[in-house]
Chains A and B, each alone.
Chain A
Amino acid sequence: MPFSIQASAKGNPSLVRFEDVALRYGTGPEILKHISLQFDPGSYHFLVGASGAGKSSLLRMMYLAQHPSAGRVTLFGRDVTELSRPETALLRRRIGVVFQDFRLLDHLTARENVALPLQISGQAHGRSDKDVEELLTWVGLADHMDALPPTLSGGQQQRVAIARAVIGRPNLLLADEPTGNLDDRMAVRLLYLFEELNKIGTTVVIATHNESLVDRFPHPVTRLSVGAIAPSGEMAKTPAAGPGANPATAKSAAAVAGRESP
């Protein structure tokens, strides 16, 4: 907890900041509560928790698909509830999202799906065609560039979704179970891609229920428990130097947070 206070005291502009955030869908129960976390520019985070813990819901608030029902979410230094519709659109262009269910447009080819963010932001020129092809080749879809998503396997669709999320070089990359449909070799390859993006400054947040995958990387882990209680991201981040200690620390942080919440 002191670290989180320290971070904000330093005036470090965090990219993602949740302050005592709660979320409910409609009039349903709060599926997330007392969420406080802070992701700094250039950081790399795992968001883990059992299925139904609320990982996707947390990400939804980060890509502005959902506003918190209580508390405050700040993205790129802006309170999300104060954004106009045009501002929201512009902010979303800086956020790449790999949706859990891919959300590809079925009537567009893999190539067109990947090019869509460029087209939307008005960057679609001759050069971008090459970028799209290179990226698709890199994720192993050189032979499927003109295939429609429904003709692709789950893993192939997932890779198209990943390519679409990163083509615009986002500042923030949010990936919801991005390796769920991939074999281990491809999963590692794509996590390596995220690693590379992180090295050039992209803030990466990966939600996954696959703990064994998380253990292989020395990145801070934020753990959601089914009780929808979140440990603060900063607490998990502290021992990032020692990856082995990571999950344990995060777990204890969760326990602390759990006891503190009323």
Chain B
Amino acid sequence: MRRRRQAVPLDRDATGRYLPLLVAIMVYLAALALAGAMVASKLADRWDSGLSGALTVQLPAAGPAATEGGEGDPVAQQVVALLRDTPGVTAVERLDTRDIAALLEPWLGDAGLTADLPLPGLIAVTVDADQPPDLNALRRAVLAVAPGSLVDDHQRWLGHLLDLTWAIEAMAIVVVALVVLAAAIMVAFVTRMGLAAHEQAIEVLHLIGAQDSYVARQFQSHALSLGLRGGLIGLLCALPTLYLGRHLLQRIDSGLLPEMQLLPIEWSLLVLLPVASALVAMMTARITVLRTLARMP
């Protein structure tokens, strides 16, 4: 079977050579932005689920003697009892000095911690996320038992972090949207040039009975293949960059950062980018052709 040649010889246009390159750059940028957004959202999830169900009650620093035999601290025991009796509290765990030292180790190093460093007493409280206790009432109750204590629901700190990750995600979405817009403008421009360059052939096609959609299909399939080609090039260039980024993040090796691995579904989102670029190119070409032709007499 002979290969059916295009009725409009778009594959000979010089523009066809540049469009995949431009699309490749766009897809590269979009891939990085998307990956950034996905990591940010992962951080947000981790911090959110990890902390929102938790409160920390911080008792004023007691002397070394008191901390040593933590069980013996009557105030702390009273607070623990109070917390256990509070509806909505599912678990109460008093951290001893060693636990606290372990928590602080990444920041202070193990050498910095000695028994005579005054450490606050910490009580980790897990609350029922669905029916959390009234925080203000709880605060008042704890303060009555242990003046100077602090009931921290981490909201301020968490709120700032979540704001940050949210901003990163939003920026990534804006970047992707701008990239799509720029790509669409480029494809529309190239399509218009093609319409002008092949005006005569298109007129002949119309005169022998072609609908606008037939002409549009010529441009569509051309744009589809250029968009796909460009998208694949862009993605292939983005993968090593993402790999490098992941490697650098993993080196940080901190409890603060969750796993930076992208899930299979996230990888497939990235792999879908060339498909998306091809579809955007195709739809843009189609709309451009149909709108331009409809304006003709």
Which residues of chain A have a CB within 8 Å of any CB of chain B?
63-65, 67, 85-86, 89-90, 92-93, 97, 99, 103, 105, 107-108, 112, 116-117, 119-121, 164, 168
The listed residue (B5, B209, B293, B297) touching A120 by CB distance below 8 A is B209
Instruction: Check if A121 sits within 8 Å of B7, measured CB to CB.
Output: no
The listed residue (B4, B5, B208, B211) touching A86 by CB distance below 8 A is B211
A–B Cβ pairs within 8 angstroms, 18 of them: A63-B207, A64-B207, A67-B297, A86-B211, A86-B212, A89-B206, A89-B212, A93-B208, A103-B200, A103-B207, A108-B5, A108-B7, A112-B5, A116-B7, A116-B205, A117-B209, A120-B7, A168-B209
A11–chain B nearest beta-carbon distance, Å: 29
Asked if B166 CB lies within 8 Å of chain A CBs, one says no
| Distance in angstroms between the alpha carbons of A121 and B210 in the assembled complex | 7
Instruction: Check if A65 sits within 8 Å of B7, measured CB to CB.
Output: no
A148–chain B nearest beta-carbon distance, Å: 11
List residues of chain A with CB within 8 A of the CB of B4. 112, 119
List residues of chain B with CB within 8 A of the CB of A65. 207
Asked if B72 CB lies within 8 Å of chain A CBs, one says no
Instruction: Check if B208 sits within 8 Å of A120, measured CB to CB.
Output: yes
List residues of chain A with CB within 8 A of the CB of B5. 107-108, 112
| Distance in angstroms between the alpha carbons of A117 and B294 in the assembled complex | 21
The listed residue (B7, B208, B294, B297) touching A164 by CB distance below 8 A is B208
List residues of chain A with CB within 8 A of the CB of B297. 67
Q: Mark B146-167, 1 if CB is under 8 A from A, else 0.
A: 0000000000000000000000
Given contacts A105-B7, A107-B9, A116-B7, contact A89 B209 (CB under 8 A): yes
A104–chain B nearest beta-carbon distance, Å: 8
- B296 — nearest CB in chain A belongs to which residue? A85
List residues of chain B with CB within 8 A of the CB of A164. 208
Instruction: Check if A97 sits within 8 Å of B212, measured CB to CB.
Output: no
The listed residue (A86, A99, A119) touching B7 by CB distance below 8 A is A119
| Distance in angstroms between the alpha carbons of A97 and B203 in the assembled complex | 13
B4–chain A nearest beta-carbon distance, Å: 8
- A126 — nearest CB in chain B belongs to which residue? B1
Instruction: Check if B207 sits within 8 Å of A107, measured CB to CB.
Output: no
Instruction: Check if B294 sits within 8 Å of A85, measured CB to CB.
Output: yes
List residues of chain A with CB within 8 A of the CB of B9. 107
The listed residue (B201, B208, B212, B293) touching A92 by CB distance below 8 A is B208
List residues of chain B with CB within 8 A of the CB of A168. 209
Residues 194-228 of B at the A interface (beta carbon under 8 Å)? 200-201, 204-212, 214
**Count of interface residues, chain B, beta-carbon cutoff 8 Å:** 20
Instruction: Check if B7 sits within 8 Å of A92, measured CB to CB.
Output: no
Instruction: Check if A120 sits within 8 Å of B205, measured CB to CB.
Output: yes
**Could you tell me the dominant secondary structure of chain B's interface residues?**
helix
List residues of chain A with CB within 8 A of the CB of B251. none
Given contacts A107-B9, A108-B5, A112-B5, contact A89 B210 (CB under 8 A): yes
Instruction: Check if B204 sits within 8 Å of A105, measured CB to CB.
Output: yes
List residues of chain B with CB within 8 A of the CB of A64. 207
| Distance in angstroms between the alpha carbons of A108 and B214 in the assembled complex | 17
- A164 — nearest CB in chain B belongs to which residue? B208
Instruction: Check if A97 sits within 8 Å of B208, measured CB to CB.
Output: yes
| Distance in angstroms between the alpha carbons of A90 and B210 in the assembled complex | 8
List residues of chain A with CB within 8 A of the CB of B12. 107
| Distance in angstroms between the alpha carbons of A154 and B209 in the assembled complex | 25
| Distance in angstroms between the alpha carbons of A117 and B7 in the assembled complex | 11
| Distance in angstroms between the alpha carbons of A67 and B162 in the assembled complex | 65
B199–chain A nearest beta-carbon distance, Å: 12
List residues of chain A with CB within 8 A of the CB of B294. 85
List residues of chain B with CB within 8 A of the CB of A97. 207-208
A191–chain B nearest beta-carbon distance, Å: 22
A157–chain B nearest beta-carbon distance, Å: 13
List residues of chain B with CB within 8 A of the CB of A108. 5, 7
List residues of chain A with CB within 8 A of the CB of B210. 89, 120
Q: Which 9 pairs, one residue from A and one from B, show the smallest C-beta to C-beta distance?
A: A93-B209, A92-B209, A107-B9, A89-B211, A120-B210, A103-B204, A117-B208, A120-B209, A89-B209
| Distance in angstroms between the alpha carbons of A63 and B200 in the assembled complex | 16
| Distance in angstroms between the alpha carbons of A117 and B211 in the assembled complex | 12
Instruction: Check if A90 sits within 8 Å of B204, measured CB to CB.
Output: no
List residues of chain B with CB within 8 A of the CB of A105. 7, 201, 204
Residue from B7, B212, B214 having most chain A Cβ neighbours under 10 A: B7
A244–chain B nearest beta-carbon distance, Å: 37
- A85 — nearest CB in chain B belongs to which residue? B212
